[in-house]
Structure 1
Amino acid sequence: MGDIVRIGAATAFFNDSRMGIAQLLAKDEQLDYIIFDFLAESVMGGLGRSMANGTGQGFAADFVDGYILPHLQTLLDRGIRIVANAGGLNPSACAEALRRGAASAGLNVRIGVVEGDNLTAESATIIGLDTRDMFDNSSVLETVEGADQINSLVAYTGAFPIAAAIAAGADIVITGRAVDSAMALGPLIHEFGWGPDDFDLLAAGTLAGHLLECSAQVTGGTFTDWRDVPDWADIGMPIGECRADGGLVITKVEGTGGLVTIGTVSEQLLYEVSDPQRYYVADVTCDFTGVSLKQVGPDRVEVTGARGLGRTATYKASVTYDAGWRATALVPIIGLEAAAKARRLGHEMFARTNTMLRQSQLPPFTQTRCDIIGGGGEGPTTAICRLIADHPDQAGAQFLVREQSSGISHMSVGISLSLVASVRPVQRIAAFLIAKSSVSQTVMVEGESVPFTSVADAKGKEADAVAPAMPATPGDAEAGHTVPLIRLAWARSGDKGNLFNVAVIARRPEYLPYIAAALTPEIVGKHYGRLLCDGRTLPVDRYSVPGLSALNFVVGNSMDGGVLASTSLDPVAKGMAQLLLDFPITVSVACADSLVPTASPNGAVSTSDVHSQRISHP
């Protein structure tokens, strides 16, 4: 491919499908790298807890046995290098397990290890009186002092150590909690010789990594227009064709399912970036507001326009900790009025168990939740009563798990055996900034220390960046139609701590003014507050992304404490965009008449699926 470096992405999260690497190797002959993303804040906490209780070694063990060893001979024969953050809290142990497995197979592999981001043992000295949560400014010290135990404390490190390991001849590079996008940026720094002050190039490489690291999400997985995505069973893994000038084409393995379009790439591009003009990673502050996309062929989208605004002197740090215990039970109820029976079951079961706690001289539950799933409609149906109760003590939480089974004979007719009944620690997350100078990283390749470029300094002109203006209010919508948002836009959402992001991308640029006029921050805050928080208006920040004809919304104080603390049915906020897609948008008659009536190559939905309604204004 000459001056093009081709990077395939095989996983998006811990325990993702093993089909990714098998597909990439079987159906693509020109790969230079395959990257793996395994980590998230919740995973780091789980790895830390398993190390503390002696049930795990702190890394993604399946990376060794399930993903790499079955394909190691092919990888070595074809010279394909691997970069993975599978090391978790213990990259050296991960590397040693892989080394032993390779030796047993008679294979010699050079493994690079990047460490230093695991700060768990130093949490008592790192978290001080002035350590403030980066989202709500609360005291992190006060938060963790009330914890049952700290599971992990990690810094989100950068790509230059990865590049150094590759330059030293590593076939496989294993990191800890490096930034997800660094899995791709590191190889590009090595291949193209990008320096620490090549901010636009580092931003372009970061964008390549950001698009690739969620694997099939950029090739049609979780796409708004899901009916347009063929063959989920064999969805194609993404490939980035990267050039030295920062140029990028996103494509996928040929002959596979899925699709790569402006819509799929736009959704992934804005996924969880918060402010698209200030997307902070370890090596560069990225401005994605001017990025543009072009469909240059079937399943090929060209990506241009990322800018680098400099670099901060801090890393993001994340601490996970256990605080209390959670009981969960899923109880099916079958028959007439199933939902009503399920609702009463929840009320009565919480009343009973709180009485039993009081009689046992234990404190009451700190919070409870009952969700009724299904059970509506006429005639006999099935409802699921989802019961959640938090308690400071494991013994207190166990009351609900033990007692919920009594409902089958003590309460409603139609109750059956519970589908789930369990108790687990409640894990919470706090994020803050830490000086890069306080984090000491190392790079080792086969026992030899490798020097690397350090980027601890702060540089750039971020303060000079001007926020893009919001689209002008349309003047021709006074007597038109309302159409649901899905007719005009794609949307994607995801969680970040106690907030979530919703990206709304206009299917055509001319639709964006109507969308912006309807979806003000206050209206969006009221909409989600009504659906999620008993009518409370949620705080919302809105950002303009003119290059993509898009808006990005950050909805604060909305996630019930974060992914593993949340009692919500959607603790990762994957469905939050879906809750916005039926929002009515007023458009002009001309705009309504121009809407694509049937499915089109860009993914617009058909009018048979979503209908418009003519309205009149006084």
Structure 2
Amino acid sequence: MTLRIANCSGFFGDRLSAAREMVEGGPIDVLTGDWLAELTMLILAGNRLKGRPGYAPTFLRQLEDVLGPCLDRGIKIVSNAGGLDPAGCAEAVHELAGRLGLSPNVAYVTGDDLTGRPLDLINADTGERLDATPLTANAYLGGRPIATALSAGADVVVTGRVTDAALVTGPGMWRYGWGPGDLDALAGSVVAGHVIECGCQATGGNYAFFQEVPDLARCGFPIAELRADGSAVITKHPGTGGLVSIGTVTAQLVYEIGGPRYPGPDVVARFDTITLSQEGPDRVLVSGVRGEPPPDTLKVAVNYLAGYRNTMTLVLTGLDVEAKARVAEEAIWARVPRESFDQVDVTLTGGGLLRITVMDADRHKAGRAFSSAVVETGLSSYPGFHGLTPPGDASPYGVYWPVLVPAAEIRPRVFLNGDEVPHEASRAAPPAGSLPAPARSEVTSIGGPVVRAPLGRIAGARSGDKGGNANLGVWADTAGRYGWLAAHLTIAKLQELLPDLAPYRIERFELPNILALNFVVHGLLGRGVAASPRMDPQAKALGEELRAQLTDIPAELLPDA
């Protein structure tokens, strides 16, 4: 017997038809969706300041298509779309249901919102102390309150800030009765939740070897067939596009992680214990996951308004591109001195784009005073001058600031149809023994001729953001290729292949059980996605940049060797 948990959203803005596709495409027991990236909380805060809802309204649009069929078939709906206002979102669900002539039991979870409470605002990544006033502060809750809501009879559960994996772990606790001590089962559900939380990224979306993925344009969303021991088969509905393979699952496993220990409110999942096996077409079994007690702290996502920013992009063509960029800058800074701004970022891309971003507490200074000055250089600058951005005003930007709070101080609350449901927070006691330390890779020395070729010919990669840090996961498909990769792709080699990473502190982690390495590049994204001046502020392209770099690869490891 399994619990079939389907995902229908990987971010705020994902495919609106996905909920209907998952309900109509085959049998499922739980429909989940993830709306809350780190950036989304800041977006919702901005919406709320403008008088708009503090939750994700696209959730209601999807729910309109499927609420009736889900109630008819007993499909539970669990979503974090409540954002900054889960109570308001639950009320909107009741209003929608009333218009549809339906009467679901709707629960919502609170307790994550710590805005206005005294917090120790030391950045969990950098150790810096924040001296600004938080706009939002939300703790990452776990799956236990979701399980309480489902046990109380909820048909729809709406949460605020919970971990992405909690949307799977909570239903697992409800169905299988896992207690705080069932660490391995909890850890397995966390891994399953991590795999399906980003929607089609588990079924071939954004996959390094995208040529292998059939009908990607109609990629199906993922399903986790969760078992009582925490193992799960990752699959998708038959007849949909996409691919579920060990490769696509591995790609998602190494997305936005740190070391082998993956901490959460319910359990620490040991990613170095995961076993993957292909059970059949589009069916990958994830098993063997071990768990450790959760830390005694919870992460809190703090956002604050940091000032205003503006970006102008100029196109440089023809000869002497670097000299033209210098002329362009000299002309601009002669009109608006560079040192007059709080922060300036100038990037010249290999494609001949000159991006100049200014940030300042003064909106006027970063606004048209800057952008108009750039345009004014149009007839007194480099030959071929033209831009991609018209003069415009500055826009406010926020900063994501992760902090930690004692878990014992957080009290989640659960409400069903407006009435509070008793909920007891409980945590696992430390086990008598401890799990072994993460394993080290076996280094493989391969002799013979080498060929200078792109690293991506034998390795996949996926990258993403974690606050101001970037994550870069790299994996191989055979033990031989991985052994060479683990020996070859050191931190020094990574910085040699991607020189722009040289100034940053980099951590390297080995996951030999899934033939993968993970790198964490600290500070690459500055103050986080919303404040990063990079063209790729979420580091989504970092993995593909690495795969394109030439390096000496043993000829026998290359395809068709």
TM-score range, shorter chain: over 0.9
Residue 11 of structure 1 is matched in structure 2 by 9
Match of 1:544 among 489, 510, 530: 510
* Structure 2 counterpart of 1:367, one-letter code: Q
Written as runs of structure 1 = structure 2, the 5 A alignment for 1:106-505 is 106-122=101-117, 125-127=118-120, 131-139=121-129, 143=130, 145=131, 147=132, 149-276=133-260, 278-331=261-314, 336=318, 343=325, 346-348=328-330, 350-355=332-337, 364-372=340-348, 384-398=353-367, 399-409=369-379, 411=381, 413=384, 415=386, 418=389, 421-456=392-427, 459-460=430-431, 464-474=435-445, 476-477=446-447, 479-505=449-475
Q: 1:5 to 1:255 in 2, by over 3 A?
A: same
| Distance (Å, rounded) in 1 between the aligned partners of 2:379 and 2:551 | 50
- Provide the secondary structure at the position in 1 that maps to 2:242: coil
Provide the TM-score with structure 1 as the length reference: 0.85
| Distance (Å, rounded) in 2 between the aligned partners of 1:575 and 1:431 | 24
- Provide the secondary structure at the position in 1 that maps to 2:547: coil
Residue 490 of structure 2 is matched in structure 1 by 520
- Provide the secondary structure at the position in 1 that maps to 2:546: coil
Is 1:104–2:99 an aligned residue pair?
Answer: yes
In 2, are the aligned partners of 1:12 and 1:38 still within 8 Å (CA)?
yes
Q: CA deviation at 1:565?
A: 1.3
Residue 83 of structure 1 is matched in structure 2 by 78
In 1, are the aligned partners of 2:293 and 2:428 still within 8 Å (CA)?
no
Is 1:46–2:43 an aligned residue pair?
Answer: yes
Residue 603 of structure 1 is matched in structure 2 by none
- The superposition leaves residues 516-570 of structure 1 with CA deviations (integer Å, 9 ceiling, x where unpaired) of 2211123324444x135xxx44322221212112211112222222111111111
Q: 1:415 to 1:467 in 2, by over 3 A?
A: same
Q: CA deviation at 1:583?
A: 4.2
Q: 1:507 to 1:324 in 2, by over 3 A?
A: same
| Distance (Å, rounded) in 2 between the aligned partners of 1:444 and 1:156 | 18
- Provide the secondary structure at the position in 2 that maps to 1:329: strand
- The superposition leaves residues 338-395 of structure 1 with CA deviations (integer Å, 9 ceiling, x where unpaired) of 956973574145314424x9xxxxx7112323444576xxxxxxx6543311122111
Q: 1:463 to 1:539 in 2, by over 3 A?
A: farther
Q: CA deviation at 1:478?
A: 6.5
Match of 1:26 among 19, 24, 27: 24
Q: CA deviation at 1:111?
A: 0.6
* Structure 2 counterpart of 1:44, one-letter code: M
Q: 1:462 to 1:261 in 2, by over 3 A?
A: farther
**Greater Cα shift, 158-167 or 401-410:** 401-410
| Distance (Å, rounded) in 2 between the aligned partners of 1:80 and 1:63 | 16
| Distance (Å, rounded) in 2 between the aligned partners of 1:410 and 1:442 | 63
| Distance (Å, rounded) in 2 between the aligned partners of 1:501 and 1:462 | 31
In 1, are the aligned partners of 2:168 and 2:190 still within 8 Å (CA)?
yes
Q: CA deviation at 1:25?
A: 2.2
| Distance (Å, rounded) in 2 between the aligned partners of 1:42 and 1:111 | 27
Q: CA deviation at 1:587?
A: 4.8
Percent of paired sites with the same residue: 34
In 2, are the aligned partners of 1:315 and 1:433 still within 8 Å (CA)?
yes
| Distance (Å, rounded) in 1 between the aligned partners of 2:366 and 2:479 | 52
Q: CA deviation at 1:407?
A: 4.4
Gaps of 5+ in 1: 358-362, 376-382, 598-606, 608-618
- Provide the secondary structure at the position in 1 that maps to 2:28: coil
Residue 543 of structure 2 is matched in structure 1 by 577
Q: Which 4+ residue blocks in structure 1 deviate beyond 6 angstroms?
A: none
In 2, are the aligned partners of 1:332 and 1:419 still within 8 Å (CA)?
no
In 1, are the aligned partners of 2:16 and 2:58 still within 8 Å (CA)?
no
Match of 1:74 among 69, 72, 83: 69
- Provide the secondary structure at the position in 2 that maps to 1:259: coil
* Structure 2 counterpart of 1:126, one-letter code: L
In 2, are the aligned partners of 1:444 and 1:450 still within 8 Å (CA)?
yes
Q: 1:178 to 1:415 in 2, by over 3 A?
A: same
| Distance (Å, rounded) in 1 between the aligned partners of 2:186 and 2:227 | 12
- The superposition leaves residues 82-116 of structure 1 with CA deviations (integer Å, 9 ceiling, x where unpaired) of 11100111100111112112112221111110001
Q: How many residues align?
A: 559
In 1, are the aligned partners of 2:312 and 2:388 still within 8 Å (CA)?
no
- Provide the secondary structure at the position in 1 that maps to 2:11: coil
- The superposition leaves residues 264-292 of structure 1 with CA deviations (integer Å, 9 ceiling, x where unpaired) of 0001012112012x100110011010211
| Distance (Å, rounded) in 1 between the aligned partners of 2:14 and 2:433 | 36
Is 1:531–2:514 an aligned residue pair?
Answer: no
Q: CA deviation at 1:45?
A: 1.9
| Distance (Å, rounded) in 2 between the aligned partners of 1:118 and 1:248 | 32
Q: 1:456 to 1:120 in 2, by over 3 A?
A: farther
- RMSD of equivalent CA atoms: 2.4
